Amino acid sequence: MARLLLRRAIHGALIIWLVATATFFLLHLAPGDPIAASLDSPLTPPVVRTHYRHEYGLDQPLSVQYGRWLVMMAHGDFGFSFPHRRPVSSVIASALPNTLLLMGVALLLSFVAGIALGLIQARHRGRPLDWGLGLGSLFFYSMPDFWLALMLLFLFAFVWHVFPVTGMFDPVMYPYYGFWQRVGDRLWHLVLPACTLALLSAAAIARFQRAALLDVAGEDFVLTARAKGVSERGVWLHHVLRNALLPVITLFGLALPVLLGGSVFVEKVFSWPGMGLLTVEAIGTRDYPLLCAAVVIASVLVIGGSFVADALYAVVDPRVRLE
Amino acid sequence: MTSTPAASAPLLSIRDLSTWFHTGGRSVARAVDGVSFDVMPHETVGLVGESGCGKSVTSLSILRLIERPGRIEPGSRIDFEGRDLLSLDDRAIRAIRGNRISMIFQEPMTSLNPVFTVGDQIAEVARVHSTASRREAWERAVDMLQQVGVPAPADRAREYPHQLSGGLRQRAMIAMALMMHPALLIADEPTTALDVTIQAQILELLAELQTRVGMSILLITHDLGVIAESATRVLVMYAGQIVEEAPVRTLFDAAHHPYTEGLLSAMPRLGDRRERLTVIPGTVPSPTQWPAGCRFHDRCAYAWDRCRTDAPPLYQIGAGHVSRCHLAAEPARRRAPAFAAAAPAS
């Protein structure tokens, strides 16, 4: 098991390097550069631009730039963001926690809801409840993320005024709140974006979980459990679910990239100051260092997620543990 | 397993059990169709038949483990220890499962849950049926493993099913089944998936535990060899019905029903010089369309007009010996042996 995880870690590092390299070259293939985007005004004398290009090493051959960047990355230095006029690491430090909060809550919500829905459906297989929930999850499963975000925003924030429209906290009242009021206010602002993300992946997880549960429910050991006198509840929650979690754990590794991709749109729609919003802005301003760092961090998150999924597999399935 | 059945009331009494599968449309699979038999205290009853004859469905019906679209039809009756199992509510039938009546299955690999330790799964029985604490239940599980002849039981209990051999897994299943000292053990093909040497060990173990615990065994198998070794009385099932019932000696020496005759002649015996084993021609008919008249008539070498139209009742042949065959009424029709090798050996 330890060897398997070590091999996975080496693979992961390799993939992160590949992703970073590809991103670096793709970005430099695109026309324009950070200087052009920030200083591209007819009023700026060409000398100034040349000066900055030289200062930031943008006049060097691509291979030299790549080499320098790689060395910097290896030292944990993400470089300097021109548009933000501060180090990339500090820009990311203010955005990453917001995204992690949003994704963490969405991930938790989607798995709890997805597994619970799958269980309800499997236990009522073939009956109207199963049918209705299946139809509902298919509805959300096939919906584009940005559209769902807009619709939720429109209905719950604009029409019914149940939840706030944008941001992470109330821009006016927040400084005057006490501690618990602040916590409440933040949670209040978290509901819509987190639910948007959670609904999409919960629908996928529910469909997956239902199928996995029904698969396991036909196994011989489930009959053994019933023949032992175990209650229906015990049979499903103890004997069936534990086995049916295995395929869903794989989904955990796959859900992260989907959530990350979704968070780009969701953060934009809800003006959530996270990595997604930052990335979208960075594309517009040709902020190479920030973009590269964002992509690298995203790939670290995704690979870390599948790494966690592998480790979880071993926790749940004793057969994996011993191989 | 030679203890004679006590002359008292039967432990289990099944009357007109019908378990049908309503698979939608007009077709109804009548897997078990009017089965009646008794199991006396301390007795081992063998239930034999080909796959698809309804023997497993019969055993699952006793514990009401039939799932939709299967249904035990109204008019069926299963009495156990003086209680009508079919009228019990869910909680009451669960209190009987694994406690007064236990089951062991054919595949010891797939019958154990792969993600829990063997000890956990055995201990679960005690936790479900008694107020035993986690620790007490575990200790009883280890003790039970020892009783079924598992070496180093405390270590084995902490292992997962895939770490044990087939024989040990079946012993673990038996330990699980006997945890609460049941009055009846239903063993559904308990040795079919095992090596021949292990088979004998498991049968011996069952016989030994039977005398120790004082339980009855309903042994379901397609293997007449297993029946000969273990059972005192045999029920032969064909196409959802019992076609012959006899004490084990009688069945092997003087089988009456042509189907039983066929089963016996299809069985290899030591010292037998036949080049090929005899087979019963044809296949088991589909439970959605049992043949009219005698359900065996289209595979039977003796069949005549009457067999195609009149469903035979169970004829009394001798003491404790019944047969669902019209030959009982017209014995002259049993001409030259239908199955060449079925002639008496000596």
φ, ψ (nearest 5 deg) of residue A80: -120, 135
Q: B52: Cβ–Cβ under 8 A, 6 or more apart, which residues?
A: B284, B287
Q: B208: Cβ–Cβ under 8 A, 6 or more apart, which residues?
A: none
Q: How far apart are CA A39 and CA A54, in angstroms?
A: 14
Q: Cβ(B160)–Cβ(B118) under 8 Å? A: yes
Q: Hey, are the CB atoms on A219 and B110 less than 8 Å from each other? A: yes
Chain A, chain B: beta-carbon pairs less than 8 Å apart: 73
Strand partners, B233: B45, B247
Residue A313 confidence (pLDDT) above 90: no
Cis peptide before B69 (omega within 30 of 0): yes
Residue bearing tokens 């008539």: B297
Nearest to B98 among A228, A232, A243 (CB): A228
Residue B344 confidence (pLDDT) above 50: no
In this structure, what DSSP letter does residue B208 have? H
Band (pLDDT 50/70/90 cuts) for residue B342 is very low
Nearest to B65 among A223, A232, A239 (CB): A223
Tell me what the pLDDT averaged over chain B comes to: 89
Gap from A221 CA to chain B (nearest CA, Å): 4
Q: How far apart are CA B171 and CA B189, in angstroms?
A: 14
Nearest to B65 among A221, A227, A242 (CB): A227
Residue A8 confidence (pLDDT) above 60: yes
Q: Say whether residue B99 is in contact with chain A using an 8 A CB cutoff.
A: yes
Nearest to B115 among A223, A224, A318 (CB): A318
Q: What is the dihedral of CA B84, B86, B87, B93, to 10 degrees?
A: 90
Encode pLDDT of B198-218 as tens digits: 888 889 999 999 998 899 999
Q: What is the dihedral of CA A209, A214, A218, A223, to 10 degrees?
A: 80
Q: Hey, are the CB atoms on B97 and A219 less than 8 Å from each other? A: no
Q: Cβ(A321)–Cβ(A8) under 8 Å? A: no
Band (pLDDT 50/70/90 cuts) for residue B3 is very low
Q: State which residue of chain A sits closest to B93, comparing Cα positions.
A: A229
Percentage above 70 pLDDT, chain B: 92
Q: State which residue of chain A sits closest to B127, comparing Cα positions.
A: A230
Mean pLDDT for the stretch of residues A156-172: 87
Gap from A108 CA to chain B (nearest CA, Å): 24
- What's residue B341's pLDDT? 44
Nearest to A228 among B60, B128, B163 (CB): B128
- What's residue A322's pLDDT? 56
Q: State which residue of chain B sits closest to A319, comparing Cα positions.
A: B162
Encode pLDDT of B264-309 as tens digits: 988 777 666 666 667 788 888 888 889 999 999 999 989 999 999 9
Percentage above 90 pLDDT, chain A: 36
Q: Say whether residue B160 is in contact with chain A using an 8 A CB cutoff.
A: yes
Mean pLDDT for the stretch of residues A9-30: 88
Nearest to B111 among A224, A230, A243 (CB): A224
Gap from B130 CA to chain A (nearest CA, Å): 11
Q: Which chain A residues touch B63 with a CB distance below 8 Å?
A: 227
Whole-angstrom CA distances from A12 to A72, A251, B109 are 20, 18, 36
In this structure, what DSSP letter does residue B152 have? S
Tell me what the pLDDT averaged over chain A comes to: 87
Encode pLDDT of A258-312 as tens digits: 888 888 888 988 999 999 899 888 888 888 889 889 988 888 888 888 888 888 8
Q: Cβ(A101)–Cβ(A196) under 8 Å? A: no
Q: Cβ(A249)–Cβ(A40) under 8 Å? A: no
Q: Say whether residue B162 is in contact with chain A using an 8 A CB cutoff.
A: yes
φ, ψ (nearest 5 deg) of residue B38: -120, 155
Percentage above 90 pLDDT, chain B: 69
Strand runs labelled E in B9-163: 12-22, 28-39, 44-48, 70-72, 77-80, 83-84, 101-104
φ, ψ (nearest 5 deg) of residue B149: 80, 30
Best CA proximity match to B43, nearest among B176, B222, B192, B234: B234
Q: Say whether residue B169 is in contact with chain A using an 8 A CB cutoff.
A: no
Q: Which chain B residues touch A228 with a CB distance below 8 Å?
A: 97-98, 102, 124-125, 128, 176
